[in-house]
Amino acid sequence: MKKISRFETKVIHDGYDSEQHYGSLSTPLYQSSTFTFPSAESGEKRFAGEEEGYVYSRLGNPTTSILQERIASLEGGEAGLAFSSGMAAVSAVLFSLVKSNDHILCSEGIYGCTFGLLQLIKERFNVDHDLISMETEEQLLQHIRPETKVIYVESPINPTMKLVNLEMVVHVAKKRNITVVVDNTFCSPYLQKPLEIGCDVVVHSATKYLSGHGDIIAGLVAGRKEYIQEVAMTTQKDIGGVLSPFDAWLLLRGMKTLAVRMDRHCENAMKVALQLKSHPKVKKVIYPGVEDFVQKEIAMKQMRMPGGMISFEIDGGKMAAQKIMNQLNMIKIAVSLGDAETLIQHPATMTHSVVPPEVRAKMGISDQLLRLSVGLEAWEDIWEDLEQALNNC
Ligand SMILES: *Cc1c(COP(=O)(O)O)cnc(C)c1O
Last-in-domain residue among 203, 233, 255: 255
Q: Relative to the CA of 219, which ligand 1 atom is closest?
A: 7
Mean pLDDT of 174-202: 98
Write out pLDDT tens, residues 318-335: 999 999 999 999 999 999
Mean pLDDT of 148-167: 97
Taking alpha carbons only, the member of 96, 62, 128 closest to residue 221 is 96
Q: Residue 100 belongs to a domain with what CATH number?
A: 3.40.640.10
Return the pLDDT at 2. Answer: 63
Asked if 287 contacts 271 with a C-beta cutoff of 8 angstroms, the reply is: no
**Is 41 part of a structural domain of the chain?**
no
Do both 295 and 185 map to the same domain? Answer: no
If one residue of 207, 216, 217 were mutated to test the ligand 1 pocket, choosing by the most ligand atoms within 8 A of its CB, it would be 207
Write out pLDDT tens, residues 158-183: 999 999 999 999 999 999 999 999 99
Do both 353 and 210 map to the same domain? Answer: no
Preceding omega of 156 cis (within 30 degrees of 0) = yes
Q: How confident is the model at residue 294 (pLDDT cuts 50, 70, 90)?
A: very high
If one residue of 83, 107, 113 were mutated to test the ligand 1 pocket, choosing by the most ligand atoms within 8 A of its CB, it would be 113
Which residues participate in catalysis according to the annotation? 58, 111, 183, 208
How far does the centroid of ligand 1 lie from the alpha carbon of residue 280, in Å? 33
Do both 114 and 251 map to the same domain? Answer: yes
Q: Relative to the CA of 158, which ligand 1 atom is closest?
A: 13
If one residue of 84, 157, 205, 339 were mutated to test the ligand 1 pocket, choosing by the most ligand atoms within 8 A of its CB, it would be 205
Mean pLDDT of 184-211: 98
**Is 36 part of a structural domain of the chain?**
no
**Is 265 part of a structural domain of the chain?**
yes
**Is 347 part of a structural domain of the chain?**
yes
Return the pLDDT at 4. Answer: 79
- The structural domain count of the chain equals 2
Do both 140 and 278 map to the same domain? Answer: no
How far does the centroid of ligand 1 lie from the alpha carbon of residue 216, in Å? 12
Please tell me the residue having the least CA distance from ligand 1 atom 2. 205
Mean pLDDT of 81-110: 97
Q: Residue 308 belongs to a domain with what CATH number?
A: 3.90.1150.10
List the domain range (segments joined by +) for residue 352: 259-391
Last-in-domain residue among 193, 222, 255: 255
Last-in-domain residue among 198, 221, 255: 255
Do both 220 and 311 map to the same domain? Answer: no
Distance in angstroms (rounded) separating the CA atoms of residues 77 and 109: 26
Return the pLDDT at 210. Answer: 98
Mean pLDDT of 229-243: 97
Return the pLDDT at 363. Answer: 86
Question: Which residues line ligand 1 at a C-beta cut-off of 6 Å?
Answer: 85-87, 111, 113, 154, 158, 183, 185-186, 205, 207-208, 217, 219
Return the pLDDT at 213. Answer: 98
How wide is the angle at C-alpha 38 spanned by C-alphas 32 and 44, nearest 5°?
Answer: 95
**Is 185 part of a structural domain of the chain?**
yes
Do both 179 and 207 map to the same domain? Answer: yes
Do both 158 and 174 map to the same domain? Answer: yes
Q: Sign of the C-alpha dihedral, residues 103, 104, 109, 110?
A: negative
Do both 267 and 219 map to the same domain? Answer: no
Do both 284 and 356 map to the same domain? Answer: yes
Distance in angstroms (rounded) separating the CA atoms of residues 308 and 39: 52
Asked if 317 contacts 367 with a C-beta cutoff of 8 angstroms, the reply is: yes
Return the pLDDT at 1. Answer: 57
Do both 153 and 288 map to the same domain? Answer: no
**Is 246 part of a structural domain of the chain?**
yes
Distance in angstroms (rounded) separating the CA atoms of residues 388 and 392: 6
How far does the centroid of ligand 1 lie from the alpha carbon of residue 112, in Å? 9
Write out pLDDT tens, residues 8-62: 999 999 999 999 999 999 999 999 999 999 999 999 999 999 999 999 999 999 9
Do both 201 and 307 map to the same domain? Answer: no
pLDDT exceeds cutoff 90 at 349? yes
**Is 46 part of a structural domain of the chain?**
no
Instruction: Decide the pairing of beta strands 282-286 and 309-314.
Output: antiparallel
Do both 236 and 123 map to the same domain? Answer: yes
Please tell me the residue having the least CA distance from ligand 1 atom 6. 86
pTM score > 0.95 for this model? yes
**Is 98 part of a structural domain of the chain?**
yes
